[in-house]
Structure formats: C-alpha cells, structure tokens
Amino acid sequence: MQLFYAPDLTENDSVFSLPKDESHHAVKVLRMNMGEDIFVTNGKGIIIGGTLQNQSASSAMVSVNEYLPDTQKRNYRIHLAVAPTKINDRMEWFLEKATEIGVDEITPLICGRSERKVFNAERGEKIVVSAAKQSLKSVFPILNPAVDFKTFVKNNHCKNTFIAHCMADMERLLLKDAVVGKDDICILIGPEGDFSPAEVEMSLKNGYTPISLGDSRLRTETAALFSVALVNVLNQ
C-alpha cells in the first residue's frame, strides 16, 4: 500500500486533486495509470481509498471510493520536547523513527547548554511527512517551531509533565514507573550536556516530575526515541 498526502482533503470531498509533488510522484515516479487504486490521507485523521482519474504530473485527480478507519488511533497523546542535536543527522533520525513508532507532537527545545540553537523546521517537516506516509499514518505528528526552555516550561499545559535528567543526587522516578496508562504525557529531553541545575529547578517549580531513563547514559536522540517507544509499549 502506497500512501499519498493531500493536506486539503476533507470528509466532504468526492473528487480532489493531489498536490504537485504528490502528483509527480504518482505519475512520473511510480508510473501509476488512470483507473488505478490509490490511498490518500490529509494527515489529520482522514484516509481514503480512491481511483486515479487522470495522469497529470502537476494535478492528478482522485475520486473517493471509501473513507477508511484509522487503525493506529490512540486514546493518549505523546509530546516530546527535545534539544536539537549538534549533528543534524541525529535529530533527523529521531524525527523519522519517532514518527514511525508513534508520537503526536515534537518541539525542538533550546536550552542553556544546547550545542545547536537553530532548527531547520522546513527540512524537519518533510522528514515527518515522509515517515508518516511510509508508516501509513492518517494523523501526522505536529512539529512545532523551536522554543527556548523557559518559555516552553511556563506555557506547556499537558496533564502529565516530566523532565529526564542525569543528576544522580536528585530523586527521580523511572519513566516506566511514572507513566499513567492511557493518559497524555509530555517529556523534556535535554542536550548532550544535560539540563542545567537552574533549568531542572525551574521545571520542578512548574510542576514537572523528574525521571530517569535507566542506568545507561544515552545520547539525546536515543533518550528521546527510547521515551517514545517505552510510553507506547506501556500503553499496549
């Protein structure tokens, strides 16, 4: 099954056109023919089975045959706020794999010890969309603009908020013991140099629970992906 992306698709459409890049991919790359079955999502929960009506590489038309159920729908949300890694490839790897496993929202978090304070949102969005299509998701993760630590902590209103840090002299719960089943969760993952003591203190004052991801010291992208995977497993 090849899934295409049409962000303007609505539940009232009987015929619609694919965006130019998706049309080109269907007609020129995959060489799909008029009358072939095609599956399309808007990334917001709608996924349809349809028929390709023409072979325009700039505006391929699709007729809707059926609206399909979302088989990957969850009744909880996972939000990861992650410090961008020094090497872009590692952050991009995290975006791809977290999308495949199942995450609802990602926020690049600029911390005092961040080695990279600029995040390429356009590039990141393309990676998320590609991974979501590949893993047949009808709801794509939200990728937010980068935000500084203080602003995020003070304005995030998720029900269950956690900060993963490496300060062994501070009491921390293991993430597996902190997760409440089938509930929304937000986890902060810091840069390679960890969160600063001041940042940890600020998070605690704003109601965040300190957590540990285990005895191994993990890279930023590994810690973030481990958190996504573990929360999903615990909610099975």
Chain segment 9-41, per-residue pLDDT in tens: 999 999 999 999 999 999 999 999 999 999 999
Percent of the chain with pLDDT over 90: 86
Neighbour-count burial for 42-73, b at 16+ CB within 10 Å, e otherwise: bbeebbbebebbebbeeebbbebeeeeeeeee
Q: Do domains 3-67 and 78-234 have the same CATH topology?
A: no
78-234 is classed in which CATH architecture?
3-Layer(aba) Sandwich (3.40)
Q: What pLDDT, on the 0 to 100 scale, is given for residue 159?
A: 86
- The answer to whether 46 touches 11, Cβ cutoff 8 Å, is yes
**pLDDT tens digits for range 191-202:** 999 999 999 999
Q: In Å, how far from its chain's centre is CA 205?
A: 27
CA–CA gap between residue 224 and residue 180 (Å, rounded): 18
Residue 68 has pLDDT above 90, yes or no: yes
- Provide the CATH number for the domain formed by 3-67 in this structure: 2.40.240.20
CA–CA gap between residue 162 and residue 60 (Å, rounded): 45
Q: 3-state DSSP call for residue 224? A: helix
**pLDDT tens digits for range 121-179:** 999 999 999 999 999 999 999 999 999 999 999 999 898 999 999 888 889 999 999 98
Phi, psi of 193 (to 5 degrees): -85, 10
Quick one: which H or E segment has residue 173?
Answer: strand 173-174
In this structure, which amino acid lies at residue 127?
I
Domain ranges across the chain: 3-67, 78-234
Query: Which residue, among 56, 62, 51, 65, has the nearest Cα to 23 in the 3D structure?
Result: 56
